[in-house]
């Protein structure tokens, strides 16, 4: 009996194929599965979610499933141009599309990231430096634990320069469209290695948010993300902004805005207590937020106050994107919905 059990376990181990190596299965129900990410590629909408599903639509109604080489759950999308796009997700996968989201190739995964970290931090120039030793230990731990660290957001300034961020202060930068990646763990004021959930440009700089009220601003001269003081210690899921507005949002309906580059912050009146999972600035300039329990909030005073928008269906939303004409698209449970704002 014991030999049979051991043989069965061995066969099961041999039969396991990592999601990083398994292409996403095509399914007519993919558009109805949970979708975690949404982005615009020109006028096209691209959505991504569980089991490597990526779908695209040119009218917001008819959706086509893309060819994806992994079945890892995907968490975020970024399209700096109509054709060039990136997706990230669990197992540390980074995917690239050069045709507006129709087909994808894998650029990076968690195993490769661990190797990069060990190569970058494994032989510090100053072995007596406690910070360098900690980075070395972190890199070795990443390698030992395997590809189990998710990437949680991606942002590209253009078709060459971008960042991916994720759990335990994981951050990498590329300057060649993802052909090569450089670890930036040592360039972030995050000594407790808190998770990094989102990054976006605002007020002429790049901002990043994470656990326990973590807000960071890229110091372009020093090439380092410097921490900012925020009067809130809860987890932040995202950041948005324009030429002078910065708005960060997260747990329990909390959102804070700054109009002075992050030097000072004031609490936005959202009127809800559920976590805020997505936010955009619509084409009409209004700030729109969505919550994990399905609420949709809109501000016409640059994020100072928000009012509830009546929606046709109240379902959890995980991501959103502005749509041509002033509406917004919402992604979450049950697919993608277009929400117009009544005048």
Structure confidence by residue, pLDDT tens digits, 250-291:
999 999 999 999 999 999 999 999 999 999 999 999 999 998
Angle at 277 between CA 271 and CA 283, to 5 degrees: 85
Structure confidence by residue, pLDDT tens digits, 37-80:
999 999 999 999 999 999 999 999 999 999 999 999 999 999 99
> What is the C-alpha to C-alpha distance for residues 86 and 304, in angstroms, rounded to an integer?
32
Structure confidence by residue, pLDDT tens digits, 106-122:
999 999 999 999 999 99
């Amino acid at each position: 009996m014991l030999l049979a059990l051991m043989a069965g376990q061995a066969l099961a181990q041999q039969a396991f194929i990592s999601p990083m190596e398994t292409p996403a299965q095509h399914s007519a129900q993919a558009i109805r599965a949970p979708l975690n990410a949404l982005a615009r590629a020109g006028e096209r909408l691209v959505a991504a979610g569980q089991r490597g599903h990526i779908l695209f639509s040119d009218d917001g109604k008819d959706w086509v499933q893309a060819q994806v080489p992994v079945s890892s759950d995907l968490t975020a999308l970024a399209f700096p141009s109509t054709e060039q796009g990136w997706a990230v997700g669990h197992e540390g996968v980074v995917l690239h599309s050069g045709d507006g989201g129709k087909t994808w190739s894998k650029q990076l995964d968690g195993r490769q990231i661990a190797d990069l970290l060990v190569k970058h931090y494994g032989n510090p120039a100053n072995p007596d430096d406690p910070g360098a030793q900690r980075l070395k230990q972190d890199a070795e731990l990443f390698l030992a634990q395997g590809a189990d660290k998710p990437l949680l957001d991606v942002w590209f300034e253009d078709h060459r320069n971008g960042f991916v961020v994720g759990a335990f202060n994981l951050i990498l930068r590329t300057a060649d469209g993802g052909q090569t990646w450089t670890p930036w763990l040592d360039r972030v004021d995050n000594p407790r290695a808190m998770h990094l959930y989102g990054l976006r440009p605002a007020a002429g700089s790049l901002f990043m948010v994470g656990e326990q009220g973590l807000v960071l601003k890229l110091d372009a001269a020093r090439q380092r993300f410097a921490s900012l003081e925020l009067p809130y210690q809860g987890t932040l899921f995202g950041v948005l902004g324009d030429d002078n507005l910065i708005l960060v949002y997260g747990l329990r309906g909390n959102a804070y805005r700054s109009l002075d580059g992050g030097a000072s912050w004031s609490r936005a009146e959202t009127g809800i207590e559920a976590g805020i999972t997505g936010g955009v600035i619509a084409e009409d300039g209004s700030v729109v937020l969505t919550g994990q329990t399905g609420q949709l909030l809109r501000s016409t005073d640059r994020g100072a106050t928000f009012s509830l928008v009546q929606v046709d269906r109240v379902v959890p939303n995980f991501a959103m994107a502005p749509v041509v004409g002033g509406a917004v698209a919402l992604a979450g449970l049950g697919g993608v919905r277009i929400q117009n704002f009544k005048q």
